[in-house]
Amino acid sequence: MKYLEWIDGGVTAPAGFKASGVHAGVKSSSPPDKLDLALIASNVPSVAAAVFTRNAVKAAPVRLSMERAANRELQAVVLNSGNANCCAPNDMENAIAMSDAVAQLLAIPSERIAVCSTGVIGQEMNIGAILDSAPKLVRSLGRESSHSDSAARAIMTTDTVKKEFAVEFELGGKPVRIGGIAKGSGMIHPNMGTLLSVLTTDCAISAELLDKVLRNAVNESFNRISVDGDTSTNDTCVILASGSAGNAELTLDEDYGSDSWKFEDALCAVCAKLAIAMAGDGEGATHLITCVVDNAANERKAESIAMSVIASSLVKSMIFGCDANWGRVLCAMGYSGETFDTERVGVTFSSAAGEVEVCRGGRGLPFDEALAKTVLSEHDVTIRVSLNEELEPGECPMCMCWGCDLTYNYVKINGDYRT
């Protein structure tokens, strides 16, 4: 999308937003330089939309934020790492206490604050550390890129890199920005993964349209990644729109105008960047896997098959071992629940090191094993699956999903995660 310019600043890039991240000591064992408490705040009450985990077990912060986001107006999001505040003693009381403390310091109603937590399930929150750090958290708010950086780092758990992006584009001659931060490394699988994501924009947009485009963006990004097949209890993706850009308000009108499409495309681009960063930073991962399924009868079928492939433990293990055992790809396709003609299927592996076709018409092809190993040894590996179904002229439905390999370190990280 040529009209998008990637910029610095994350959640503080859009006008009207500040952020901060500080060390509270949520986990007593965390080092003093580990940021673990974050805040993103708008100067004004903002239009809001949010998407949450579909896990039947929902953490207290999720249940609280679902209730508040339903009002479609928020002004701040407070987040902590180090404790999920889920199925724990006093969980709801502690979630409310977090928002009340920040609300008092910001002089806004507590009902305008969403709460997010991530960490170990079932352990009581060290709420004292959070409440004691709330004044420092609010004093540290700022509009510089460094403030978004601190917030992005404060929500990291087993993440090895921060996830933070922002874009700028024009609507009606006015510069509009969207920024986002996210965390996610393990327990990643739709819907949505153990991810926390806060998105901000200065676009003037109605609540109804914001809700629609956020759900579309999540479905095309966060819901198309898988690290380990586990869906978290704490998934939250929330967006705040300050309206400070000065553009004519975007609304959910009948023709869904070009400016609305442009905003949705930009939001999808930011969410996709965050999602791919999460897939590539999967716990213990050494490869980012992209599965492209094309020449399918429709996008839904392509998505279902692509997700089945990147979620397969055998495919993940194959990529970890740099072994072109392509039969595992067809196997994963076969239990996707979709119907397709095996004898039309083609499979190709590619990376920066080259490309090797391994299957055509559902049958294996002779290929250079040494080249295949070289191709699969790169960090970014693509599995392209062509269904070669009969399509209308000019049509080529496809879908792209992302995952990572399954390594010894994944088991090591999660074998002693709590202790």
Do 323 and 394 lie in a common domain?
yes
Q: Which residues does residue 293 pair with via DSSP β-bridges, in sequence order?
A: 385, 399
Residue tagged active-site, from 53, 194, 231, 382: 194
Confidence of residue 21 (pLDDT cuts 50, 70, 90): very high
Do 88 and 29 lie in a common domain?
yes
Task: Name the domain count of the chain.
Answer: 2
Do 356 and 405 lie in a common domain?
yes
Provide the domain limits for residue 204: 5-280
Beta strand 399-404 with 288-294 is: antiparallel
pLDDT tens sequence across 90-107: 999 999 999 999 999 999
User: What pLDDT was estimated at residue 264?
Assistant: 96
Alpha carbons 201 and 199: distance in angstroms, whole number: 7
157 is catalytic: no
pLDDT tens sequence across 160-194: 889 999 999 999 899 999 999 999 754 444 444 45
Half-sphere exposure of 79 (CA within 13 A, CB side): 34
For the cut 60, the answer to whether the pLDDT of residue 417 exceeds it is: no
Please say whether the beta carbons of 270 and 163 come within 8 A: no
For the cut 60, the answer to whether the pLDDT of residue 148 exceeds it is: yes
The tokens 């399924």 sit on which residue?
Answer: 293
User: What pLDDT was estimated at residue 413?
Assistant: 67
Do 276 and 292 lie in a common domain?
no
Which alpha helices (H) appear in 224-289, and where do they start and end?
258-280
CATH number at residue 137: 3.60.70.12
Do 265 and 352 lie in a common domain?
no
pTM comes to 0.90
pLDDT tens sequence across 258-290: 899 999 999 999 999 999 998 888 777 789 999
Do 130 and 245 lie in a common domain?
yes
Half-sphere exposure of 177 (CA within 13 A, CB side): 21
Do 276 and 317 lie in a common domain?
no
User: What pLDDT was estimated at residue 1?
Assistant: 64
| Burial of 47 (C-beta count, 10 Å sphere; 0-12/13-18/19+) | buried
